[in-house]
Amino acid sequence: MHDSRYMLGVAYSKKGETSRAIEILEGALKRNPSAEVRGKILAQLNRIQ
């Protein structure tokens, strides 16, 4: 579940919809993802912010 939200955030980011990507990724963090997925989410947020 959390990995799918990560992928959705990445997709929005690639489309240039940065605000929506950040919203999705931050929401995914609030759902207590595994350490692996959390790391991927944080890395993606750092790239786009």
- 24 exposure class (CB count in 10 Å sphere: 0-12, 13-18, 19+): buried
Classified by CATH at the fold level, domain 2-48 comes out as Methane Monooxygenase Hydroxylase; Chain G, domain 1 (1.20.58)
Q: Which residue has the higher pLDDT, 2 or 15?
A: 15
Question: Given a cut of 70, is residue 1 above it in pLDDT?
Answer: no
Question: Given a cut of 60, is residue 14 above it in pLDDT?
Answer: yes
* Every domain of the chain and the residues it spans: 2-48
